[in-house]
Every structure is written in structure tokens, then in C-alpha cells.
Structure 1
Amino acid sequence: MSDTAPIQPRVRHPEKAHKPDNPIKRKPSWIRVKAPVSKTYHETKELMRDLNLTTVCEEAACPNIGECWAKKHATMMIMGEICTRACAFCNVSTGKPNALDPFEPFNVAKAVKTMGLEHVVITSVDRDDLADGGAQHFAEVIQAIREATPNTTIEILTPDFLKKDGALEVVVAAKPDVFNHNLETVPKLYPSVRPGARYFHSLRLLQRVKEIDPGMFTKSGLMVGLGEERDEVLQVMDDMRVADIDFITIGQYLQPTIKHHALDRFVTPEEFAAYERQAYNKGFLMVSSSPLTRSSHHAGEDFAKLRAARDKALSK
């Protein structure tokens, strides 16, 4: 008989273990998706494993993974799979991250080239443990993709780099085509939904991107169904336009587990369509608003529309 204690599996969300249960509501018909079964889906999954890459598609349990991977679209999540934040809505693991992988920029670029991507989305966990929040690593990934596939357009979805002076400037200097940072929800819900972040800091981050590089596209997203009011969503739209944000995404919050933030309600497709009309009326160049909208869903097609919309606006 061995005296060695069995290795206990790492708890994915240790900070949520003692929180009260929030029952998961049954999804309405308009938000159900088919299980991923295509050959290309499995090929994409195998490529990610072979190159030791993490995708937000898997870590965040995205409902669109079957559709996107079948088209060889994958949002790569750099700097590991363990986040230093503990947002109440997010399914990404929380804990102490591992050291950065120095080969990751090369492996990401190799995956982009192998998949023949015309547009790629790169996101990351929060790395509050790093002096620059991972800004230099973002820049190295962008550079590696540029060297491997110069014609690929690059969209990044970054953390907020809270209290990381100079980090934003490093990332913007690397010249991504789209700089995305999600506000996620309305200000009143930040303490319960996104307690480690600050609404006006995130808004200012995106405004600062435009000040540094006016030609860079900026993008941000909201989840709805968390308990926000319609007028609060419209106010966030106005705040985004003051910050000169080009592209807004609005999607339904889906509760990952009973320990996550409770789902308040399922927003109807008609309400999403109304949000889309209102956002365009407020001056956004591009709007994606639907129950299954996610930050990187249809990112390539949306980027082409975004660029065309700006060209049209400038030609007037």
C-alpha cells in the first residue's frame, strides 16, 4: 500500500467554490447550436494540440466553436490558460499562471500560416503577475505573424493592462489592424460581474489607442442578460462613441456553471435587432448584435465590412 496521497485535480474556479448556486436556465430555441462534428473541426483541434496552443473557443466554452472551427477560424489565447482575474461571468481558469512560453509567438504564427488565415484574432488571459501585463508578448506574437504571413490582418483582444504604465503603447506600436478590449457590461454591474476591472479605465484604454494611432480600428463588446437596463446599454454606446470606438458587439450572456453570475434573462432576437439599429444611429461603423454574437465570431468577414464602411465614410 502506497503512502503517497492521490494527486487532486486543480479546481478550475477555486474562488467560486463557496459561492451560492445559481440554477442554470433552459435555453430558448433561438440560442441552441449544433454539436461540432465536422472533419475540419477535428483537424483544427488537432493542430492546436500539436502546436501546444490554447484557444479561447475552448476555454471560454464558446457556443460558436463548431461553426468557427469547421471554417478553420480559431481565436488563439496566448500567455497560458490560467487567468489572474476572477470575473464572475468567465469560464477561463483562475489561479497562478505558468511562465510565458518563449516559443508561443512562433507556434501561433505557424498555426496561422498552416490554416491559411486571412484574418486572425489573438486574445489572452489577464496577466497581472507580469510587470507589463504581457504587452511585450502580444507585440512579439504580432511580429511573428507579420513575418510568417504578411498579408494576414491581425485583430487583438487584450486585457485592460490596469496599473501597467507604458504597456498599451507597446502593443499599439506593434500595429495590429484591430484593437479590441471588451467593456463587457454596464458600470453598475462591474462590482459583481468584473470586480477586478474599472469601467472608465477600460473606456479610456480604447480612447487612448485612437489618440496614439488614429488609423487603428477599435472595437469593444457587451454581454446582455446580466441584469442591465436598456437605457444603461444605450449610455454605454454613447460612452463608446465619445471614445471614438468603431465597432461594437452585443451578445447574450450564457452562464457557464451554477457558481457563475446568475443569468437574469434571455434577451430576444428582436431586442438585439433594436440595439443594432440604435448603435448604427449613434455612428458606429460596424455593429454585430445577436444572441450568439461573440467578440471574434465572423471576425474576418466583419473586418472586411468595417474597412469598407470607413472607406465609404471617408469618401463622403
Structure 2
Amino acid sequence: MKVRFWGVRGSIACPGPKTVRYGGNTTCIEIRTDNNELIILDAGTGIFPLSQMLLAELPVTANVLITHSHWDHIQGLPLFIPNFIPGNTLRLHGGFDPVSGKGIEQVMQVQLQYSFFPVREVEMKAKIEYVTLMPNETVQVGSARVTPCLLNHPVIDFGYRVECDGKSVFFTGDHEPPYNIYEPGEEGYDDYQMFVDEKAQSIVEAMRGVDVLIADSSYTDAEYASKKGWGHGTYSSSMATAKAAGAKLLFCTHHEPTRSDDALETVFAAALAANAEHTAGMDIRLAREGDVYEF
């Protein structure tokens, strides 16, 4: 299995001289099975350079797994070049949105409204298919098994476990570890803490023993105090989760867009030092646009 990062920034693309080393594109990760089947995790701006590379291997079937429908995870879809070429297939997977009452098809319908984009969906030349997924229900994608896990973000948000030929990857998308909304001593605290503990444990079990964990690590511990409830994790929370799940390799991603590459390396080094007692022997890396990991 091969993992390649095409976009590792969160919230908004941030190209420029201060983000050259780690990249400025928003979330997009390519997975190739041992049979060279193409699975794409999220469709941020990083999917555009990926689509340029795919022109060398047409026709393609792209199985895109959308974690959630926030802009930075879907905004590259209208410019996914194979959509404009006959013979290709885009198979879009994602969750049902209880607010709109629609499945993953709304991700394309909303973005391709004629007021916002000059090419309508009916004018796309590729075959576009939609697969609405349910939490914890495994689906077959080529030779891979994909299991969605409902995570914690201010919208329906799936993490995905991808398994193939005895190898596994788990991607959290955007995720904030569940926390108690009550203060200790308040009515409801104990009951809600039981829910939090059960949810946290179910997430760890969904990740159990993965070869590669790619986790939302947007904030430092100090930053998190003012970001609580925004739906994002910290370096420390990602490391703790990786440790609990027994993940073999952790990639920290969804880098804060205002953080330069130098600052990113500084806060990452500080997080490693702060968590050194609990992470001894673990393989922990910063996700970097262009990096490839094959196992």
C-alpha cells in the first residue's frame, strides 16, 4: 500500500514562501492499493495537482472518500481534471447530512451551481457516481475494505479505516477528541462522562493496530484553550490516541494555515518533547505535501 500527501493544511490554502517545505494546499491524500487501485481521502485544493498527475494514466477510476463537507475538504472537486474527460469515473463516498436531508451528492450539487462555477454537473464528461455511507458499515472499494467511523466535528464527519492485503490506514479528517460539556459537580456531568469515555474508546478501537494513523493535529496545548469546540485536535491528543490504539506510525496533519514552516517545526519539536515520556519508541512525523510512504 502507498500513501502520498497532496494537501496537508487546514481551513484555507496558504501558498507562499513561508509554506514551501510542507505545502500550502488543503487536505488531500492519495492511497494506492497493491493492485494500484486509486483511493483519495478528501478533495481539498491538493486534489488539483493530483489530477494533473493522473492525466498520464487515463482512463482512471477515482474512489474519493469525503470526511465531511467543509470547504477545505471539498473545494478541489470542481477542478478535478478527469471529470472533464470521457471514459473516467469519479465515485464519491461520504455521509448523509441530516440538516439538508441529502447524501454525499450535495457536495457536487452545491459547488456546481451555475452562479458559482461555469461548468454544470450535467456537462461533466466523466461518469460520476455517489455512495452514501453509514457509520461502522464496511464497504468494498476494489480490493480494499473501507470502514467509516463517526468522529467529533461540528458537522457529520467520518474518519476512514482503509484495509487491504493485511495493511491498514486510518485518517481522521477533522476531529476533536470528545470532551465533557459539563463542569465537575454539575448535574449531568457523570452521565455525560460515561458517554465521552465510551465514545473515545470506540474511536480508539476503530483505529486499533493500524499501520498508519493520519490525524488532525491543528493546535498546541496552549492554543487549544481558546479553540475548544472548534472540532480540531492537538499534537498531544493525536499522540495519545496513536499510543492508545497501538498505531505503528503517526502523521500529524491539518496544519494551522497561519503557521509558517519554521513555526510548524518549532511547535512540533516542542510537542514531541512535552510528550516524550509517553511516546518513547513511537514513529511520529509531520505530514508534508509530496511525501510518499510505502509499506
Bin of the TM-score, shorter chain as denominator length = 0.3 to 0.5
Larger strand proportion of the pair: 2
Could you state the TM-score of these two structures normalised by the residue count of structure 1? 0.41
Q: TM-score, normalised by structure 2?
A: 0.43
Which one scores higher on RCO, CA 8 angstroms, separation ≥ 6? 2
The structure with more helix, counted as a fraction of residues:
1
